[in-house]
């Protein structure tokens, strides 16, 4: 449900005739796909007025941390709002809006700016659209050449199974200041898993991209997948404080996307999230970018030493910044 209170800005009202009775504050999806909230109850078959603009209090999925300005969806089956983008087939989930402010995991309801969409300065799904990118491939000239492609809004990286060192990397053309109150949102799927520890995958933000070793980058905050180990790691380096890959205790599975977020609004303590759950908050100096000179870029890199391990990787990286991080 949603509470039709705390409106901000002008309202936009659409006629809506439900086939079943609608309760006060109920979230619905209109025929054009937008989310709407009913400020008053509407009987089945009666014409009502659904609001599509404003700030509304909605039921929130438990255990999730919401970041101010982040995208929020409506989980139709759970009848609750979620920060985890719907993935897969056969559901009726839809886009709801953006988080009005930061929300702790224990909070059961939160405000959403209805139908507002985030404004990203970097969006890998718009490759060659609003910015250029640099793609690097290192590998053999055999028939199984490693490659990077853009398919359906996702970057797709492939390794060949030739037993040799191979690297694929992507770095955004646009950069941003370390102190620009940035948030990086990542959708990552390992479609074909590595079969050996020789493979490393890193995704996040960094001052550059490595040629054969991501950890050679001067400054970064990133998630790390270590070969055929199914545990997601996190690590960081600002040129002074280097924190090695450390387990998040959460896992990935081949063919199942994970949603990763880096909250860089505090450059002394970048926060890491996996599917809306904060991780590594107790790891000393994790996400400390105090000494990083910047600028930072969105980065994705996969590398392997001389091994015949395969890899198919899909990713989308988006970065947004804000003028200041302040409570509303």
Cα(99)–Cα(259) distance, rounded to whole angstroms?
Answer: 17
What is the Cα 210 distance to its own chain's centre? 22
For residue range 13-69, list pLDDT tens digits in order.
Answer: 887 787 888 888 889 999 889 999 988 888 887 888 889 999 999 999 989 999 999
For residue range 138-177, list pLDDT tens digits in order.
Answer: 665 555 678 888 888 899 998 888 888 888 889 998 999 9
> What are the structural domain ranges in the chain?
2-114, 122-321
Q: What percent of the chain has pLDDT over 90?
A: 63
Give the pLDDT of residue 139: 62
C-alpha distances in Å from residue 92, one per residue of 50, 86, 89: 19, 9, 9
Cα(43)–Cα(27) distance, rounded to whole angstroms?
Answer: 15
Q: What is the 3-state secondary structure (H, E, C) of 2-35?
A: EECCCCCCCCCEEEECCCCCECCCCEEECCCCCE
Cα(163)–Cα(306) distance, rounded to whole angstroms?
Answer: 5
* Cα dihedral 274, 277, 278, 280 sign: negative
Q: State both tokens at 136.
A: 């690097």
φ, ψ at 215 (rounded to 5°):
-70, -5
Give the pLDDT of residue 276: 97
Average pLDDT along the chain, 328 residues, taken 10 residues at a time: 47 79 87 89 83 93 95 94 87 94 95 96 72 55 71 88 86 93 97 91 94 92 95 97 97 96 97 98 96 94 89 95 72
Task: Kindly provide the b/e burial profile for residues 256-294, where b requires at least 16 CB atoms within 10 angstroms of the residue's own CB.
Answer: ebbbbbbbbbebeebbbbbbbbbbbeebeebbbbeebeb
Three-state DSSP class for 45? coil
Helix-then-strand count for the chain, H and E: 0, 25
User: Can you give the pTM of this predicted structure?
Assistant: 0.91
Domain boundaries 122-321, corresponding CATH code: 2.60.120.200
Give the pLDDT of residue 122: 94
Which residues contact residue 326 at a Cβ distance below 8 angstroms, ignoring those fewer than 6 apart?
A: none
Q: State both tokens at 121.
A: 């300065």
Q: State both tokens at 194.
A: 């590595």
- Residue of 97, 95, 59, 99 whose CA lies nearest to 79: 59
């Amino acid at each position: 449900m949603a509470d039709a209170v705390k409106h901000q800005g002008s309202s936009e009202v659409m006629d809506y005739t439900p086939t079943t009775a609608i309760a006060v504050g109920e979230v619905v999806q209109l025929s054009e796909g937008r989310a709407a909230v009913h400020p008053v109850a509407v009987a089945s078959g009666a014409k009502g007025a659904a609001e599509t603009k404003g700030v509304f209090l909605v039921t929130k999925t438990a255990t999730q941390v919401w970041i101010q300005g982040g995208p929020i969806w409506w989980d139709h089956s759970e009848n609750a709002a979620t920060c985890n983008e719907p993935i897969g087939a056969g559901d009726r989930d839809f886009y709801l809006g953006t988080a009005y402010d930061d929300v702790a995991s224990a909070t059961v309801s939160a405000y959403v700016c209805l139908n507002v969409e985030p404004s990203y300065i970097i969006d890998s799904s718009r490759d060659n659209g609003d910015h250029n990118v640099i793609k690097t491939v290192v590998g053999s000239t055999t028939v199984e050449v490693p490659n990077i492609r853009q398919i359906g809004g996702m970057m797709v990286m492939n390794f060949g199974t030739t037993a040799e060192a191979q690297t694929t990397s992507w770095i955004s053309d646009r950069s941003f200041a370390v102190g620009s109150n940035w948030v990086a949102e990542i959708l990552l799927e390992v479609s074909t898993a590595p079969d050996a520890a020789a493979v490393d995958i890193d995704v996040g933000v960094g001052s550059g991209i490595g040629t054969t070793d991501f950890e050679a980058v001067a400054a970064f905050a990133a998630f790390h997948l270590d070969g055929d180990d199914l545990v997601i790691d996190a690590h960081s380096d600002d040129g002074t404080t280097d924190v090695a890959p450390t387990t998040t205790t959460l896992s990935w599975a081949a063919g199942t996307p994970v949603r990763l977020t880096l909250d860089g609004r505090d450059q002394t303590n970048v926060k890491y999230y996996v599917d809306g759950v904060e991780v590594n908050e107790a790891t000393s100096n994790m996400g400390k970018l105090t000494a990083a000179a910047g600028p930072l870029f969105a980065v994705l890199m996969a590398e392997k030493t001389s091994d015949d391990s395969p890899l198919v990787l899909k990713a989308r990286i988006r970065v947004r910044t804000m003028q200041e991080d302040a409570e509303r």
